[in-house]
A and B are shown apart, each in its own frame.
Chain A
Amino acid sequence: MKIAAFLTRRRVAGRRIHWTDIVAYGYLAVGVVVMFGPVLWLVLSSFKTPAGLLEFPPSLLPMAQVEVTVPGQPQPLPLFRTTLPDGQVRDLVQLRRVGIVAQMADPKDPTQTFRVPIDKREPVRAFAMATGNYTEPLARFDFLRFLWNSIFVTVVATAITLLINSMAAYALSIYEFPGKGFAILTVIGTLMIPITIILVPVYLVVTELRLVNSLWAVILPGAATPTGVFLLRQYMLTLPRDLIEAARMDKASEWQIYWRIVMPLTMPALAVLAIFSVMWRWNEFLWPLAVLTKTESYTLQIGLNAFQGELQTQWHYLLAMTVMTLLPIALVFVFLQRFIATGIGNTGMK
Chain B
Amino acid sequence: MSGRRDGVSTDAAQNGPAGTVPAAAIVARPLGALIALPLRLLDAPMRALQRTIGERRMPYVFLAPNAAFFGVFVFLPIAINLWFSVTGGPALFLSERPYVGAGQYGYLFECGSFLDPNSCREDHFWRGVANTAKFTLFQVVAMVAFSLITAVVLNMKIRARGFFRAVYFFPVLLSPVVVALIWKWILQRDGLLNAAITSLGGQKILFFVDPGWAMFWAVLVSVWAHMGFYTLILLAGLQAIPADLYEAAEMDATPRWRVFRRITLPMLWPNMVVVIVLALIKGVQTFDEVFVLTGGGPGTATLMVVQYIYETAFSNQVQNFGLAAAASCVLGVVLFGLTLAQLAASRRRAT
**With contact pairs A268-B16, A345-B235 given, residues A170 and B195 touching in the complex (Cβ less than 8 Å):** no
**Interface check A38, CB cutoff 8 A:** yes
Within the assembled complex, what's the spacing in Å between the Cα atoms of A243 and B11?
12
Interface pick from A68-76, A77-85, A125-133, A203-211: A203-211
Which residue on B lies nearest to A334, using beta carbons? Answer: B166
Interface of A, helix, strand, loop or mixed by DSSP: helix
Which residue on B lies nearest to A247, using beta carbons? Answer: B5
Within 8 A of A (CB), among B158-186: 158, 162, 164-178, 181-186
**Interface check A239, CB cutoff 8 A:** yes
Which residues of B have CB within 8 Å of A192? 281, 335-336, 339, 342
Within 8 A of A (CB), among B16-45: 16-18, 20-21, 23-28, 31-32, 34-36, 39-40, 42-43
**With contact pairs A165-B66, A201-B325, A204-B93 given, residues A283 and B77 touching in the complex (Cβ less than 8 Å):** no
Tell me the count of chain A residues lying within 8 A, CB to CB, of chain B: 119
Which residues of A have CB within 8 Å of B190? 54, 56, 58
Interface pick from A87-95, A101-109, A116-124, A255-263: A255-263
**Interface check B266, CB cutoff 8 A:** no
Interface pick from B50-58, B113-121, B208-216: B50-58
Which residue on A lies nearest to B70, using beta carbons? Answer: A224
Within the assembled complex, what's the spacing in Å between the Cα atoms of A45 and B94?
50
Cβ of B327 to closest chain A Cβ, rounded Å: 10
Which among A158, A164, A196, A223 is the interface contact of B309 at CB below 8 angstroms? A196
Cβ of A212 to closest chain B Cβ, rounded Å: 10
> Could you tell me if A164 and B65 are in contact, using CB atoms closer than 8 angstroms?
yes
- Which bracket fits the contact residues of B? 35 or more
Interface string of A167-205 (1 = CB under 8 A from B): 110111011010010010010001011101111111111
Interface string of B131-157 (1 = CB under 8 A from A): 000000000000000000110010011
Which residue on A lies nearest to B198, using beta carbons? Answer: A57
**Interface check B74, CB cutoff 8 A:** yes
Cβ of A233 to closest chain B Cβ, rounded Å: 11
Which residues of A have CB within 8 Å of B149? 27
**Interface check A341, CB cutoff 8 A:** yes
Cβ of A338 to closest chain B Cβ, rounded Å: 7
> Could you tell me if B174 and A326 are in contact, using CB atoms closer than 8 angstroms?
yes
Which residues of B have CB within 8 Å of A27? 149-150, 153
Within 8 A of A (CB), among B282-303: 285, 287-288, 292
Within the assembled complex, what's the spacing in Å between the Cα atoms of A32 and B169?
11
Cβ of B98 to closest chain A Cβ, rounded Å: 16
Within the assembled complex, what's the spacing in Å between the Cα atoms of A49 and B177?
23
**Interface check A138, CB cutoff 8 A:** no
**With contact pairs A25-B158, A199-B309, A308-B181 given, residues A58 and B195 touching in the complex (Cβ less than 8 Å):** yes
> Could you tell me if B28 and A270 are in contact, using CB atoms closer than 8 angstroms?
yes
Of listed B27, B233, B281, B331, residue having the most chain A CB within 10 A: B27
Which among B5, B8, B175 is the interface contact of A282 at CB below 8 angstroms? B175
> Could you tell me if A286 and B59 are in contact, using CB atoms closer than 8 angstroms?
no
Which residues of A have CB within 8 Å of B198? 57
Interface string of A44-65 (1 = CB under 8 A from B): 0100000000101110000000
Cβ of B289 to closest chain A Cβ, rounded Å: 9
**Interface check B314, CB cutoff 8 A:** yes
Of listed A32, A34, A275, A350, residue having the most chain B CB within 10 A: A350
**Interface check A264, CB cutoff 8 A:** yes
> Could you tell me if B175 and A200 are in contact, using CB atoms closer than 8 angstroms?
no
Of listed B36, B149, B192, residue having the most chain A CB within 10 A: B192
Which residues of B have CB within 8 Å of A42? 181-182, 185
**With contact pairs A35-B171, A167-B63, A198-B78 given, residues A318 and B195 touching in the complex (Cβ less than 8 Å):** no
Which among B17, B79, B185, B325 is the interface contact of A238 at CB below 8 angstroms? B17
> Could you tell me if B310 and A199 are in contact, using CB atoms closer than 8 angstroms?
yes
**Interface check A335, CB cutoff 8 A:** yes
Which among B5, B34, B150, B182 is the interface contact of A256 at CB below 8 angstroms? B5
Which residues of A have CB within 8 Å of B175? 282-283, 285, 301, 325-326, 329
**With contact pairs A58-B195, A265-B12 given, residues A254 and B46 touching in the complex (Cβ less than 8 Å):** yes
**Can you report 27 A-B residue pairs in the complex whose CB atoms are below 8 A from each other?**
A21-B158, A27-B150, A56-B195, A159-B31, A162-B35, A167-B62, A171-B59, A192-B335, A196-B285, A199-B324, A200-B80, A200-B84, A201-B77, A203-B92, A205-B80, A223-B69, A243-B8, A250-B1, A250-B5, A253-B43, A260-B5, A264-B10, A274-B31, A282-B175, A286-B288, A345-B235, A345-B236
Report, nearest first, the 10 A-B pairs whose CB atoms are least far apart. A224-B69, A255-B46, A201-B80, A283-B175, A201-B77, A168-B66, A171-B62, A271-B24, A57-B195, A198-B77
The interface of chain A, by Cβ under 8 A from chain B, is: 12, 18, 20-21, 24-25, 27-28, 31-32, 34-36, 38-39, 41-42, 45, 54, 56-58, 158-159, 162-165, 167-168, 170-172, 174-175, 177, 180, 183, 186, 190, 192-194, 196-205, 207, 220-224, 226, 229, 238-239, 243, 247, 250, 252-256, 258-261, 263-265, 267-268, 270-272, 274-275, 279, 282-283, 285-286, 289-290, 301, 304-305, 308, 315, 318-319, 322, 325-326, 329-330, 332-333, 335-342, 344-346, 348, 350
The interface of chain B, by Cβ under 8 A from chain A, is: 1, 4-6, 8-10, 12-13, 16-18, 20-21, 23-28, 31-32, 34-36, 39-40, 42-43, 46-47, 50, 55-56, 58-60, 62-63, 65-67, 69-70, 72-74, 76-81, 84, 92-94, 149-150, 153, 156-158, 162, 164-178, 181-186, 190-192, 194-195, 198-199, 224, 229, 232-233, 235-236, 256, 274, 281, 285, 287-288, 292, 306, 309-310, 313-314, 321, 324-325, 328-329, 331-332, 335-336, 339, 342
Question: Other CB < 8 Å A-B pairs besides A289-B310, A322-B178, 8 of them?
Answer: A162-B35, A164-B69, A190-B74, A197-B81, A197-B329, A200-B81, A308-B292, A325-B175
